[in-house]
Amino acid sequence: MAMARSVRSLRNSKLLLSASAEAIRCASSPAEVVTRFNLRRRGLFPPDPFDSHVAVFTIKSISSSTSLRRSLTPLMHAYVLKTNLLSKEHVASILLKSYSLFSLADARALFDEILQRDLCIANTMISCFLRNGDFCSAQFLFDSSSIKDIVSWSAMIGGYMAKNRRDDAISLFRKLMLQRELKPNSGLLVTLLSEGAFVGSMKIVGTPVHAYAVKNVPKKEMYRVLGTTLIKMYEQAGNLKYAFSVFKQIPEKSVMHWTSMICSLAMYGHADEANSLLLQMRNSGIKPHAARYIKIFNACCHAGLTDMAQKCLTIMGQEIGFMRTVHHYGCLISLLGNDGRLDEAYGVIKSLEVQPNIVIWTSFLEACKKYKNFEMAKEGITKVLSIARPDQHGGVYNLVLDLYTLGGCWDEVKRIRQLINEQKVASIERLSKLLVKDICRKLLAT
């Protein structure tokens, strides 16, 4: 038994791949894969005892390219027919998937062409139907299959969830729970829980699936795999109490668990609790990489938690060595400005190693206008006028006009009005606010 497992392991190892299969597997792009495959067909690579590997790696690569899959998949189909590789289930499966990405009709024709269909082929075809929205065919094939594994059930349930057919998905899940031989795996539970917080889904999906996991999945495994998903589900549903309860029950908290809970607290404006949890995480020896701190920073920006956002930005720069961009600083300056902390915002601008762009200065000037501080706006006005383009930044000129009016600088008011008329400044009212909001929105979306 052990010997059989060892042989299978070696067979799956890349050490047994031929030179041509390994070359194709390691190619840097689909175009290079095609080049190397053609060399293999012309006999310029050594003979390959594992032709199926060559076919699988080639089809997988060209299917990932939108420009190549439609033209080259039929050619690969002809190749596997000529070499009698279509009888290999892994070759047929990857070819089916490639067809399904651009033509369900061709995928279905290939499926009908395969005489020996095993469970792997059937599961692939079910996924093809679901990917293309043909639920009737998928359900018919699923129901007509005499043998179903957890992949079959997961494909159907995941496909229904992906198309927002939650009632069908939960109905299938309930049928799965009645199966004695099969149990939902963690991947399926994650799929269900990810949808659990949507409107109307918590009671029919989220809570029942959580209850099932508590009863049927070992605690350590459940929270290791599902912990982050459960926290996010309850946070999206607005139930931070349940989210924090899940967090506390996780025996061995990973960086994902910590940062997910911190982000959840920050998103709902619980600054003290989020700060306390951040301190606990750091004291516990957990050291998140920059991407996790960016998520916390984004959550703080979304909720207007200025101090915590500033703290995250400092940690990223001083302790992790993350290169903070002008976009990050733009969000921080906007937060400081909204809080009326103009001196701090100005200090951040002056400390920047890169040249502040128009978004930075516009954000600062908006805050100066809001808090009627013309003196601090003077330098910003000069800077922003030197980089503003009349045809794109009409709102900036309107903002400068308002600030000069605020300061009683009537000669400058007259000059800016003449500038607007002479240079045909775009009359986009309050474009400056849109610039700041847009840059923060793009950052928060990362």
Which of 150, 120, 151, 155 is closest to 138 using CA atoms?
Answer: 155
Residue 73 predicted with pLDDT over 50 = yes
Task: Tell me the C-alpha distance between 124 and 98, whole Å.
Answer: 11
What is the per-residue pLDDT for 156?
A: 92
SS3 of the chain: helix, strand, coil, percent, to 5:
75, 0, 25
Which of 34, 35, 41 is closest to 73 using CA atoms?
Answer: 34
Q: Is 14 helix (H, G, I), strand (E, B) or coil?
A: helix
Residue 139 predicted with pLDDT over 90 = yes
Residue 190 predicted with pLDDT over 90 = no
Residue 28 predicted with pLDDT over 80 = no
- Predicted confidence (pLDDT) per residue in 372-418, tens digit: 988 888 888 888 888 777 666 677 888 888 888 888 889 888 888 88
What is the per-residue pLDDT for 213?
A: 86
Task: Tell me the C-alpha distance between 198 and 209, whole Å.
Answer: 14
What is the per-residue pLDDT for 11?
A: 41
Task: Tell me the C-alpha distance between 310 and 322, whole Å.
Answer: 14
Query: Per this entry, what is the length of the chain?
Result: 446
Query: Using alpha carbons only, how large is the chain's radius of gyration in Å?
Result: 29
- Predicted confidence (pLDDT) per residue in 204-230, tens digit: 778 888 888 888 888 777 888 888 889
Residue 15 predicted with pLDDT over 50 = no
Task: Tell me the C-alpha distance between 393 and 413, whole Å.
Answer: 17
What DSSP letter does each residue of 286-309 carry, written as one string? ----HHHHHHHHHHHHHHT-HHHH
Residue 286 predicted with pLDDT over 50 = yes
| Least confident range of 17-21, 146-150, 253-257, 351-355 | 17-21
Structure-token pair, residue 28: 């840097």
What is the per-residue pLDDT for 143?
A: 92
C-beta separation of 234 from 197 below 8 A: yes
Residue 350 predicted with pLDDT over 80 = yes
Query: What is the number of other CB atoms lying within 10 angstroms of the CB of residue 185?
Result: 14
What is the per-residue pLDDT for 136?
A: 93
Task: Tell me the C-alpha distance between 272 and 307, whole Å.
Answer: 10
What is the per-residue pLDDT for 424?
A: 61
On whether the pTM is more than 0.85, the answer is no
What is the per-residue pLDDT for 8?
A: 40
What is the per-residue pLDDT for 187?
A: 82
Residue 429 predicted with pLDDT over 60 = no
| Least confident range of 13-22, 74-83, 89-98, 279-288 | 13-22
Specify the amino acid at residue 406. Answer: L
| Least confident range of 18-27, 71-80, 266-275 | 18-27
C-beta separation of 154 from 144 below 8 A: no
What is the per-residue pLDDT for 142?
A: 93
Q: What CA–CA distances, in Å, run from 18 to 8, 21, 24, 54, 68? A: 17, 5, 10, 9, 25
- Predicted confidence (pLDDT) per residue in 29-68, tens digit: 887 777 777 777 666 555 555 578 888 888 888 888 888 8
Neighbouring residues of 78: CB distance < 8 A, sequence distance ≥ 6? none
- Predicted confidence (pLDDT) per residue in 229-258, tens digit: 899 888 888 889 999 999 998 888 889 999
Neighbouring residues of 417: CB distance < 8 A, sequence distance ≥ 6? 401
Q: What CA–CA distances, in Å, run from 288 to 92, 225, 285, 328, 329? A: 42, 18, 10, 18, 21
Residue 318 predicted with pLDDT over 80 = no
- Predicted confidence (pLDDT) per residue in 84-130, tens digit: 888 888 888 899 889 988 888 998 999 988 877 888 889 889 988 99
What is the average per-residue pLDDT within 432-439?
A: 49
C-beta separation of 54 from 88 below 8 A: no
Task: Tell me the C-alpha distance between 105 and 213, whole Å.
Answer: 39
What is the per-residue pLDDT for 302?
A: 82
What is the per-residue pLDDT for 20?
A: 66
| Mean pLDDT for the chain overall | 80
